[in-house]
Structure 1
């Protein structure tokens, strides 16, 4: 069920960081093989309670789950989650941190932490209230019940639900469409939207103006304006 190991987490973080720095990468898709998307963190090998010292858990969460989700939120390329099956715990948060979420009809989302007597980590208490409001976030986190793909879409956690056999095709189509877009403008837009709920209007407006100033120095912005004037389709290069 694709529980996240330390090695897998570090590899995904490295790939996301590399995607940000590589102008040839224009979009990212995170998906999985098998029956599940991600069953959460692989807890095998975690130290027993009696073996921990003060601060161990805080450091583990900060360097692990939070850094993992932060890598998705901070990636400078649009990131699509193609959820093929159950997404539980950190697996659900991995999907929710993505910019766009596609889900197979069989997908389920589970805030599994309460079933283990744990507090949600990996940014769950940050992401969920911003996506669906505090009341629904508490419902998911307090009860730990599975949320179907259809209900997740109704609640605003998923952009689109598709038959399982169409998931890869749809994710590829979306990624290709994003890859043809103005990559730096998308990166700046992502930053603005992600920061919007944490800032006041004056700060948000100032950030918007600065982002537009930066974006106007890119070749893609100049191409976009030129294509409008010339009444032709823009040909963006991601630069």
Structure 2
């Protein structure tokens, strides 16, 4: 598939998905939704890809929905935003959070609205110190979508999540790091370097095990202890049969660096 709104590259065991509508701060239109879904599908199906890095081109990460892609001027022709969420944003968040491979997000500028929610759906978020996050939905009479009402309170606690969502206040990358909303803020000129180092690291690690860690942690908020313990048991049964587990134990016993294959 030839892409026009994103860039998608593969190298050395990881893939990079770059949102590429810089003139609109990489906001989503219908074409971008289709292309991002196709790129994530390729990442999921290609065993040679063991990590996905998502970033943006230009001066912003993602401004959320491209409002010019919707006609809202005629009140008699109201847009069904629920349909848009169901067909576009919900499948995207499920694809990111359900991908059994690490997903890194390098936030290179403003992440607003659904753009902020998409970043927070990723597993490890790095942000340039000049970047910022804003839950802009309340400014236009909407609610945080794309998993915003799910991930915000889990990362920040209810008081801060409510304040950010209700006020629509912008917070800096450094504040987001202090609050635990993201993993790390870095100098602007170091963002891509640090993100690539993480991607290269994950491309050499036991991918199946990392995928199960990710899914178990994501599911832990919804399960009682006894159910979570059963999920852990099932994961251990499966992972104990993998080549990577055998390689990890052998390398430990032989005091050498393991060579994981993601199998």
Q: Same fold (TM over 0.5)?
A: yes
Q: 2:76 aligns with which of 26, 38, 50?
A: 50
Structure 2 distance, partners of 1:33, 1:57, is 27
Q: 1:74 aligns with which of 79, 83, 98?
A: 98
Q: If the length of structure 2 is used for normalisation, what is the TM-score?
A: 0.87
Structure 2 distance, partners of 1:234, 1:95, is 31
Q: 1:214 aligns with which of 238, 245, 249?
A: 238
Secondary structure of the residue that 1:67 maps to in structure 2? helix
**Contact 2:29–2:69 under 8 Å retained in 1:** no
Moved over 3 A (4+): none
Equivalences, count: 237
Offset at residue 118 of structure 1 (A): 1.1
**Deviation digits for residues 6-25 of structure 1, max 9, x if unmatched?**
11122112211221221100
Aligned to 1:41: 65
User: What residue ranges of structure 2 are gaps of 5+ in the alignment?
Assistant: 1-24
Aligned to 2:139: 115
By relative contact order (CA 8 Å, sep 6+), the higher-ranking structure is 1
Aligned to 1:236: 260
Aligned to 1:195: 219
Offset at residue 183 of structure 1 (A): 0.4
More strand by share: 2
**Contact 1:17–1:75 under 8 Å retained in 2:** no
Aligned to 2:208: 184
- Between stretches 116-125 and 201-210, larger displacement belongs to 116-125
Structure 2 distance, partners of 1:2, 1:77, is 24
Q: If the length of structure 1 is used for normalisation, what is the TM-score?
A: 0.96
Secondary structure of the residue that 1:44 maps to in structure 2? helix
Structure 2 distance, partners of 1:217, 1:35, is 46
Offset at residue 60 of structure 1 (A): 1.9
Aligned to 2:126: 102
**Contact 2:128–2:173 under 8 Å retained in 1:** yes
RMSD: 1.2
Structure 2 distance, partners of 1:217, 1:20, is 21
- Between stretches 104-113 and 156-165, larger displacement belongs to 156-165
Q: 2:189 aligns with which of 134, 150, 165?
A: 165
**Contact 1:26–1:77 under 8 Å retained in 2:** yes
Structure 2 distance, partners of 1:211, 1:13, is 27
Q: 1:91 aligns with which of 115, 122, 126?
A: 115
Aligned to 1:26: 50
1:124 aligned onto 2:148: yes
Aligned to 2:3: none
Structure 2 distance, partners of 1:164, 1:148, is 13
Structure 2 distance, partners of 1:105, 1:167, is 9
Aligned to 2:167: 143
Offset at residue 45 of structure 1 (A): 3.1
Structure 2 distance, partners of 1:57, 1:85, is 26
